[in-house]
Chain A
Amino acid sequence: MNPITINQLQLKNQLPNIKQSTKTSGSFSNTLSNAVEQLNQSQLNSQQDIQNYINGKSTDLHNVMIAVEKSSIMLQTAVQVRDKAVQAYQEIMRMQV
């Protein structure tokens, strides 16, 4: 076999492992705080866009609206995740001891 193709195959096999190792290295609390940080950042971004529009720095209304929609969707996703987590917690607390 051509050495180049062998290298490519090995690279392809290794790629998923690398990805998985970076994913599993962070603890749950790290992942959670990262997600919350991202959500906060998107809220701040949309706020900044609105402020720029009002101050006349940005001229595109649709970009402001899209930023607001994006942050709204991210917030709703976070609410869904919270609901699921609370639901799981309550399910466990209802266990008979």
Chain B
Amino acid sequence: MGIFNGLNISASALTAERVRMDVISSNIANANTTRAKLVNGKWQPYRRKDVELSTINNGFGHYLNNAMTSQGNTAGGVEVSKITEDPSPFKMVYQPNSPDADKNGYVKMPNVNPTKEMVDLISASRSYEANVTVLNASKGMLLKALEIGR
């Protein structure tokens, strides 16, 4: 709880948005990857990855501080708690000439939906911008405080 608390919270959010962006770019890059994982001698296509975010609370010390100062719960920043795989089924595409085709000529393609990824991309990019705005506002407040009495 220093004077830079606001900046630290925004910094954690920026880091989390960067991870989200990395995962989205991986999803889009692998939208046509049919050989991502080898399971029992057979190639499985790429599974879409998803980011799980959670609030940072610094464990016991955090709760003790809240109980002692009775200021109420000041929430902390955000962190990526887990990167999960999307369990939805793969797309089946008819490509009899492909080496990955099954006996009916169908190839399993990744369960990546490019439209959804683009929407997520815009969301991550705008969230990043919003957090930069918050960061600049907290910095502006600190600089304004230095002007008191000048």
Contacts and interface: CB of A to CB of B under 8 A. Distances in A.
Interface of A: 60, 62-63, 66, 69-70, 73, 76-77, 80
Interface residues of B, number: 13
Contact of B15 (A62, A69, A70, A73): A62
A62 B139 contact: no
B10 to A, nearest CB: 8
A73 B11 CA distance: 16
A69 B146 contact: no
- Which label, helix, strand, loop or mixed, suits the secondary structure of the B interface? helix
Contacts of B15: 60, 62-63
Nearest to B145: A77
Contact of A76 (B10, B132, B146): B146
Contacts of B4: 70
Contacts of B7: 66, 69-70
Contact of B18 (A60, A73, A76, A77): A60
- Which label, helix, strand, loop or mixed, suits the secondary structure of the A interface? helix
A70 B3 CA distance: 10
A76 B140 CA distance: 13
A66 B142 contact: no
B109 interface: no
B14 interface: yes
A69 B10 CA distance: 13
Given A62-B132, A73-B146, A76-B143, 18 more contacts: A60-B15, A62-B11, A62-B14, A62-B15, A62-B18, A63-B11, A63-B15, A66-B7, A66-B10, A66-B135, A69-B7, A69-B139, A70-B4, A70-B7, A73-B139, A73-B142, A77-B146, A80-B146
